[in-house]
Amino acid sequence: MATTLVSPLVLLSLAVGPAAAAGGHGGRPGGDRPLRQLAADDHLRVGTAVDMAALAQDATYRRVAGSEFSSVTPENVMKWDALEPRRGEYDYAAADRLVRFAERNGQKVRGHVLVWHNQLPSWLTEGDFSATELREILRRHITETVRHFKGRVWHWDVVNEAFDEDGTLRDTLWLRALGPGYIADAFRWAHQADPRATLFYNDYNIAWAGPKSDAVLALVRTLRAEGVPVQGVGFQGHLGVQYGLPAGVAANFRRFERLGVRTAVTEADVRMILPADEEKLRTQAEGYRLLLEACLRTRHCVSFTVWGFTDKYSWVPGTFEGEGAANVLDESYTAKPAYCALQAALAGRARPGALR
């Protein structure tokens, strides 16, 4: 079913205020065109993580999620503890609802996530499994999940956050039991289950050069040389105003692209110590713009995803005490300078390329 694309600024008759100034325009950059239309001019999909409770209960959230973005990522409902809360009993209902929502709104779905050390069901973390048993459990989870969504999920985050900040592999259930080979196995199993889905390694603090980014680069280079189907690298992009903004992001994206992979910003948000003020909001807008511009300058950066779009449902306050206001719309769905900065970046260029 076709959906009329309406910017939240129009949909809710929102006052932009300082947002227009952030874009350097007397009015809204891009006019009333939503982000998804502006991004299409750049051969880019712009997406959001989706909170399924908000999607079900909040009509405004539902309208904006459907009209403003061209891809969606499940915030939680494709994680292992949600899909298989009891061993052998799969519950795809919530994830299926998100996929149907995306299909109704002409959106692609990024599957998140197949292999991670967090949000695992207790039967798995508390079980006494041999390495052989655990390998089979992992193989079955990846295979069953990817097959269930075969042809309906565009990109999969296959392995998530496998490295520590110093560039060593993170000490996880998977590494301890299976050794580093679990990463290659995961990609091979996912590819066998759906050869047409694009498979990503996804992590935070790798958008700029450093020990962690260098280690991921080396891993991807090695795996691809061995024929492992690592086809994309996702840069999460969780930034904090109080830490300053990173340098060299575009150059870092390009060194990954030289490996022959697609890239994506997968989880962008820019948090701050509360309360927000004009200076923090300006810096936040610059952080979002920096990430998006790096993607736009990278020929095969195929998507830019914000990790939620309204502060009303942000994960940040529940995780970082005293911090928040991380998204591009505030709790009342009013556009912040960050939203206008994204509009301006997308309206300011027409990037050649193709969505894949």
Long-range pairs for 129-135 at CB < 8 Å and ≥24 separation?
129/177, 131/177, 131/178, 134/173, 134/174, 134/177, 134/178, 135/177, 135/178, 135/182, 135/185
For residues 257 and 294, the answer to whether their CB atoms sit within 8 Å is no
The pairing of beta strand 323-324 with beta strand 262-273: antiparallel
Query: What's the Cα-to-Cα distance from 69 to each of 8, 45, 47, 50, 316, rounded to whole Å?
Result: 11, 8, 5, 11, 21
For residues 44 and 70, the answer to whether their CB atoms sit within 8 Å is no
Q: What is the pLDDT of residue 302?
A: 97
Which tens digit of pLDDT belongs to each residue from 134-164? 999 999 999 999 999 999 999 999 999 999 9
Q: What is the pLDDT of residue 32?
A: 82
Whether residue 305 has pLDDT greater than 70 = yes
Q: Cβ–Cβ contacts within 10 Å for residue 110, how many?
A: 28
In this prediction, residue 340 has a pLDDT band, given cuts at 50, 70 and 90, of very high
Active site positions, annotated: 161, 267
Q: Which two tokens stand for residue 113?
A: 């996530």
The model's pTM: 0.91
User: Can you tell me the distance from the alpha carbon of 104 to that of 207, in angstroms, rounded to the nearest whole number?
Assistant: 33
